[in-house]
């Protein structure tokens, strides 16, 4: 707490939390449960958020890491991060009822990858190795794609300036980090082709913009989100880049009183896959422990929504 004895001041960042793609994926899973019941399988986590996954697990949903874990003829829902063509083919071979809850902004990157590959480009994908979205995107053109994670890796790419190259990016990257890598690519390969519209999603950019705009006013940043959530990690990193302590937590139970010693003000935000109830739980704890006062700050409005997959609307209609 503040050494002056003042009440803890909390700035609540807006926008925060669920994006349109996450809302669509979660609503899709809720609707699938209503229509088909259990057993119901999801390929990978529906979104990268532990409380959300735990909630659906308690409802009887089974999350799997391989399509072979899904019994033949069963119902499987693809997560918001998308899947490769090989997974779709395996699901068809197993006669699975597949529901595609891939975020449309991820699908956009997949379509771009297919287009560039058909046009004879070698694609440089800017992203994080092992991330579900990256695995799915690379699966669209595995023989025509190279992953780059840092600007330093650009210098080691085994291509000449004459190579027909294009770049794409994971949708949940740090805007600043992606720009640094893209600048390095353009510096080394001036003719590299780019997507018509940048791939980093609106929600990732907006949440990062809100932290950048508000972090100077506070002593500490708390980000609600899971450790395997790329966009949530980027928010915590932004705090540290701006010289402020930043903690990434799943729930209010992880709040540590020691973090608030000598602290007068806190910024609270949430990654695009973190539900609002965990934010509100966090606020209640801070109000109970430190008499926190909460100030809502809107940096940018969001009015984006995506329709449910046709596999659900066709059945429900």
Name the residue among 218, 284, 228, 227 with its Cα closest to residue 253: 284
Cβ partners under 8 Å of residue 280, min gap 6:
none
Name the residue among 146, 45, 87 with its Cα closest to residue 138: 146
- Placement of tokens 């997507």 in the chain: 195
With a pLDDT cut of 90, the percent of the chain lying above it is 94
Enumerate domains of the chain plus CATH numbers: 9-18+202-298 (3.40.1010.20), 20-103 (3.40.50.11270), 105-188 (3.40.1010.20)
First CA to last CA distance, the chain = 55
Model confidence at 2, pLDDT cuts 50, 70, 90, reads very low
Six-digit token string for 91? 């699901």
* Enzyme catalytic residues: 133
28 near 311, Cβ under 8 Å?
no
- Percent helix, strand, coil in the chain, to 5, is 45, 20, 40
Cβ partners under 8 Å of residue 34, min gap 6:
none
Q: Tell me the pLDDT tens digit for each residue of 123-153.
A: 999 999 999 999 999 999 999 999 999 999 9
Q: Tell me the pLDDT tens digit for each residue of 175-230.
A: 999 999 999 999 999 999 999 998 999 999 999 999 999 999 999 999 999 999 99
Helix (H) or strand (E) holding 267: strand 265-270
Rg (CA), the chain: 21
DSSP 233: H
Q: Tell me the pLDDT tens digit for each residue of 65-95.
A: 999 999 999 999 999 999 999 999 999 999 9
Distance CA 312, CA 31 (A): 7
Q: Tell me the pLDDT tens digit for each residue of 259-279.
A: 999 999 999 999 999 999 999
Distance CA 198, CA 168 (A): 8
| DSSP sequence for 60-117 | TEEEESSGGGSPTT-EEEE-TT---HHHHHHHHHTT-EEEE---HHHHHHHHHHHHHH
Six-digit token string for 125? 């994908």
Distance CA 26, CA 23 (A): 5
Secondary structure class of 202 (helix, strand, coil): helix
Name the residue among 89, 2, 25, 96 with its Cα closest to residue 307: 25
Peptide bond into 39 cis (omega under 30): yes
47 near 17, Cβ under 8 Å?
no
């Amino acid at each position: 707490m503040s050494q002056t004895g003042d009440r803890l001041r909390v700035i609540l960042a807006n926008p925060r939390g669920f994006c349109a793609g996450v809302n669509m994926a979660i609503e899709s899973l809720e609707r699938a449960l209503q229509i088909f019941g259990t057993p119901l399988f999801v390929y990978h986590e529906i979104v990268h958020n532990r409380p959300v996954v735990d909630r659906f697990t308690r409802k009887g949903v089974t999350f799997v890491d391989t399509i072979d874990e899904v019994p033949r003829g069963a119902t499987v829902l693809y997560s918001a991060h998308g899947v490769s063509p090989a997974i779709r083919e395996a699901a068809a071979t197993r006669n699975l009822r597949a529901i595609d809850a891939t975020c449309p902004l991820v699908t956009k990157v997949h379509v771009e990858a297919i287009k560039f590959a058909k046009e004879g480009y070698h694609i440089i994908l800017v992203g994080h190795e092992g991330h579900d979205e990256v695995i799915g995107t690379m699966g669209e053109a595995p023989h025509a794609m190279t992953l780059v994670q840092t600007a330093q890796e650009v210098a080691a790419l085994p291509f000449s300036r004459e190579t027909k190259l294009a770049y794409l990016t994971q949708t949940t990257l740090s805007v600043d980090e992606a720009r640094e890598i893209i600048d390095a690519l353009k510096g080394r390969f001036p003719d590299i082709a780019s997507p018509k519209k940048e791939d980093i999603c609106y929600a990732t950019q907006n949440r990062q913009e809100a932290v950048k705009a508000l972090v100077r006013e506070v002593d500490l940043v708390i980000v609600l989100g899971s450790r395997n959530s790329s966009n949530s990690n980027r928010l915590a990193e932004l705090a540290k880049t701006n010289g402020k302590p930043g903690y990434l937590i799943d729930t209010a139970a992880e709040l540590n009183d020691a973090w608030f010693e000598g602290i007068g003000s806190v910024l609270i935000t949430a990654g695009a896959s973190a539900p609002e109830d965990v934010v509100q739980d966090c606020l209640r704890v801070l109000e109970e422990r430190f008499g926190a006062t909460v100030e809502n700050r809107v940096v940018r409005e969001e009015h984006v929504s995506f329709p449910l997959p046709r596999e659900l609307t066709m059945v429900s209609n």
